[in-house]
Structure 1
C-alpha cells in the first residue's frame, strides 16, 4: 500500500508542477478585449480595440484579445498564447473563431494565435506577414502602441472579410483604416496584366491576321480595382448595450510568432 501512496503523491506533485508551469495572467473582468499588463497601450488604442471588437462580435461572433505582458516567465510564447486562448475561451464555443495577439515586452517576442474556426482566414503564413509587416518594425523602435494597433486593424479586417462583412463597417471614424490589403503587390498585378495583353494581341494576330486590324481586334479584359463602399446606414452592432464576455472558444496552435 505504501508504494501506491508514493505513486499517488508523485502524480499529484507532477500535476501541480505542470499546472504552475502553465500559469498565465488572469482574464480581465472588464474590457476583456484588452489586457495591457505591460502598460504599453495608449487610451486611444485601447478604446479603438474595444469599440471595433464589439462591432466585430456583433456582426460575426469572432473575438480578438490583445494581451501584453512584461515576461513569459520561462514559457514558450506558443504555449502561453494557446493557454490564453483556451483558458479565457476567446471566440465562440461553436465556431472557435477567436484570435489572441500576445506581446511579451522584455522577452521581445510576439505571437498571433488563431482559433480553429479562423485558420482558413488567417493561415500561418498570413499571420507571419502581419507580424513582419505591421507589428515588428514598430516594436524594434520601441513603439509597441503603434505596432499593436496596426496589427489589430489588419487582423480585424481579415476576420470581417471571412464572414462577408465590409471591413469599412468596423470603424465609423475612419473606415479606410480597416480595408484589407491585397496579398499581391500592385507591381505584380500590373506586370501580369501587361503580359496578358501582349499574349492576347499575339494570339489574335496569329488566328486572324487579315480580317482584323491591330486595334479593331482587341477586346481586352476589364480590370477594375476593388472599390470599398463606406456603409450608408448607422454604425451597426449594438455596442451601446454590449456586455463583454468571451464565448468559450478554443484553438490548436495555429498562428505565427516573431521576435525583434
Structure 2
C-alpha cells in the first residue's frame, strides 16, 4: 500500500510539471554527457554493464551531466530514470548512477523491484566508501568505476527472477511464522482476558466509588461558596442603597455645571437604581429558595444563576464610584484644556509660517488645516455656558497630535525638495546615456519583448520629465519622473541579462547532446556491445544522494 501511495504522489508530481524539462536521449549503458570518462573506460564499463544485464536481467546505467538545470539531484535523476525507462517493464529492476561533476552532486536511483536488495542506506555507503574518496581528488574515472563495481558486488550475480523466488519463499515462511505466533497469542490472550475482566470489575467498583466521593465533596464545597456569594451580594446592595443620598448630591453637582453629554448615562443609571435593587433582591431570594429545596446536589445550577447576577450587582455597587470618577475627569479635562490650549495656539502660529513654504506639499497643508479646525472647534465649545470639557480635551489632544505630524511632514517635504533640486539636473543629463546603453542590451536577439517594453516605458517617462523641465515646471514635478525612468532602466537591463543567460543554457544543452552523439557515431568511446534501449522500468524515489 505504501508503494502504491508513493507511486501515485510521484506520478501526480511529474504530470503537474508536464515534463517541461528537456533530457538527452540514452546512448547506451554509459552516457557520459559531461565528458569525464575516456573512450577506453566507457567501452570497458559498457561491456561490464551489458554482461551484467545478460547475467542477471538487471539494467544498470551510468549518466554524467553538465548541469542539473536548477533541479535538486533527486528530482533530476528520478525524472530522467522514468523518462528513459531503465529496468524491465513490470519488474522495475533498473539502477541509475548519475553524476553532476560541475555541481558536485551524485545519486544512485533504485527501481522499485530492487529496493529490497539495494536499500537507501546501502546506496549511500557505496558512494561514501568507493566513490567520494576518488571524486574529492578529481579522479572521476576511478570513482565511477569503483562505484559501479561496488553496486555489482553488493547485488551479486543472482538473476533477478531467482531473487523474486527467494523473496517469495522468505515471505511465505514469515507468513507461516506469523500465523503460528498469532495462534499462540490468541490462546494466551483468552486466559489473560478472563483474568483481566475480574481485575477490571474490582477496579471499576473502586473508581466509581472514588468518583462519587469526589463529586459529593465538590458539590458541598460549591454549596458553601454559593452561600457566601449570596451574603456578599446582599451586603453590597445594602451598602449601595445607603450611599444613594451621597450619589444624588454628587450627581446634582455634576448636572449643575456640565451639559447632558457629560452626565446623561449616569443620570439614567441613578433613575433605574431602586428598581434594579428590588429586582436583584427578588432574584436572589428565588435562588436561595431553590437551593434550600434541592440541597447541595444542585449547587452547580445555583452557582450558574449567581454568576449571571454578578454584572448587575456590580452595576449597582459601582454607581457612586463612577459618579465621583466622572467629576474628577471633568476637573482634570478642564485643567488640561486651559493649560494646553494657549501653548498649542502658539505652536500653530509658528507652524503656520512654515506650512506656507513652496516646498511643502498639499497633503501637509491639509493636515495643518485639520488641526486648525479642531482647535477652533475646541475654542468655540469652551465659550458656551456649560462647556463639555471632556470633549474639548479630546479635540485639543487630536489637534496636538496632528501638529506633531505636520512638523515631521514639513521637514520631510523640504528635504525631498532639496534632493530634487540637487540630484534632478544630474539625472536629467545622465539618463539619455543610460537609455542608449540599455538599448544595446535589449536589442540582442536573445532578449524578449518584456525587457524592450520596460525600456520603452523608461524612455516615455524621461521624455515627459524633459518636456516639463523645458516648460518651467519645478523639480518637485520632474524629479519623480526621472526616478521612475531610472528604476525601469535597471529592470530592463536585469531582464535582458536573464534572457541572454537562459538562451545560452539552451544552446549549451543542444551542443552537448549533439557532441555526444557525434563522438559515438565516429567511434569515440564505442563499447562494442549492442544497445537497443531500456526495458521501461519505473522508479519511486528509492536510493541515496551525496555531495563531495
TM range (shorter): 0.5 to 0.7
The TM-score, its normalising length taken from structure 1, stands at: 0.60
- In the alignment, is the contact (CA less than 8 A) between 1:91 and 1:98 conserved in 2? yes
2:136 alignment partner, one of 130, 140, 143: 140
| Structure 1 or 2: more helix by fraction | 2
2:159 is aligned with 1:160: no
* Aligned mates of 1:76, 1:253 — CA distance in 2: 13
3-state DSSP of counterpart to 1:91: coil
* Aligned mates of 1:26, 1:164 — CA distance in 2: 28
- In the alignment, is the contact (CA less than 8 A) between 2:133 and 2:143 conserved in 1? yes
Aligned equivalent of 1:100: 96
Tell me: CA distance 1:241–1:111, structure 2 relative to 1, closer, same or farther (3 Å).
closer
2:248 is aligned with 1:250: no
Aligned equivalent of 1:114: 110
Residue by residue over 1:226-249, the C-alpha shift from the partner in whole angstroms, topping out at 9 and shown as x without a partner, is xxxxxxxxxxxxx98844320000
Residue 149 of structure 1 and its aligned partner are, at CA, apart by 0.8
- In the alignment, is the contact (CA less than 8 A) between 2:56 and 2:157 conserved in 1? no
Aligned equivalent of 2:23: 25
Aligned equivalent of 1:64: 60
3-state DSSP of counterpart to 1:122: coil
* Aligned mates of 1:149, 1:252 — CA distance in 2: 26
Residue 85 of structure 1 and its aligned partner are, at CA, apart by 1.2
Residue 157 of structure 1 and its aligned partner are, at CA, apart by 2.5
Q: How does 1:1-260 map to 2 (within 5 A)?
A: 18-19=17-18, 23-28=21-26, 30=27, 32-163=28-159, 242-260=530-548
Stretches of structure 1 lacking an aligned partner (at least 5 in a row): 1-14, 166-238
Residue 107 of structure 1 and its aligned partner are, at CA, apart by 0.9
- In the alignment, is the contact (CA less than 8 A) between 1:57 and 1:63 conserved in 2? yes
Q: Which has the larger radius of gyration?
A: 2
| Structure 1 or 2: more strand by fraction | 1
- In the alignment, is the contact (CA less than 8 A) between 1:116 and 1:250 conserved in 2? yes
* Aligned mates of 1:163, 1:44 — CA distance in 2: 28
Aligned-residue RMSD, C-alpha: 2.5
Tell me: CA distance 1:24–1:34, structure 2 relative to 1, closer, same or farther (3 Å).
farther
Stretches of structure 2 lacking an aligned partner (at least 5 in a row): 1-13, 162-526
* Aligned mates of 2:529, 2:42 — CA distance in 1: 19
Runs of at least 4 residues off by over 6 Å = none
